[in-house]
Structure 1
Amino acid sequence: MITIYYPPENHLIPTWQDRLEKLAFQYALIPDDTATEPRLVDGDEHAAGIPAIEAHLESLEQFKKDWYDSRCDRYDFDPDAPGHGFTII
């Protein structure tokens, strides 16, 4: 589960919430009155500060994009084709 702890009045929370919704991962956004900067916890991975959180979300978005781009139905097997016989349809 991805958890973002954030200080009050963080203007990026709606944007991060939208991005996390699109990723379809379980998440929680937790206000933290004692925090001076937002921090993200994703299993054993931690990110502190806006640039680090943005980078983490971007890597998850890329992972999801690559996951769907690697679908088996996008390829056709041709034993005579270069590259082990698989070609993109």
Structure 2
Amino acid sequence: MISLHITSRLSAETLWIDQLKEWCVAHEVIQNESLQVPELHEGGKKMVGTREIEDFLKEYRTFMDDWYDCRCDKWQEV
């Protein structure tokens, strides 16, 4: 499960929340205005700051796309 800790000061935070909802990813959003920068926790990993979160979400989306990609023709002998 992804735990997104937001500051509610950045417009990117709304985008991240919308992406997680759109992707149907198990997540929780924790609003913490005392944070200086947003954080994302997933498993034992912790991403801090906009750049790390966006990089993680981009990689996560690539993983999801690969997971749902049709594999039928990838295993056929030529």
RMSD of the alignment, in Å? 1.6
Secondary structure of the structure 2 residue equivalent to 1:9: coil
Q: Higher relative contact order at CA 8 Å, sep ≥6: structure 1 or structure 2?
A: 2
Gaps of 5+ in 2: none
Give 1:1-40 correspondences, 5 Å limit: 1-40=1-40
Distance change >3 Å, CA 36–CA 59, structure 1 → 2: same
Secondary structure of the structure 2 residue equivalent to 1:67: helix
Q: Which residue of 2 aligns with 1:44?
A: 44
CA distance, structure 1, for counterparts of residue 8 and residue 19 of structure 2 = 20
Gaps of 5+ in 1: 82-89
Secondary structure of the structure 2 residue equivalent to 1:35: coil
Task: Report the CA distance between 1:8 and its aligned residue.
Answer: 3.0
TM-score calculated relative to the size of structure 2: 0.85
For this pair of structures, how many residues does the alignment match? 77
CA distance, structure 2, for counterparts of residue 61 and residue 9 of structure 1 = 24
CA distance, structure 2, for counterparts of residue 7 and residue 57 of structure 1 = 18
CA distance, structure 1, for counterparts of residue 17 and residue 8 of structure 2 = 15
Instruction: Point out the structure with max Rg over C-alpha.
Output: 1
- Counterpart code for 2:48: A
- Counterpart code for 2:76: F
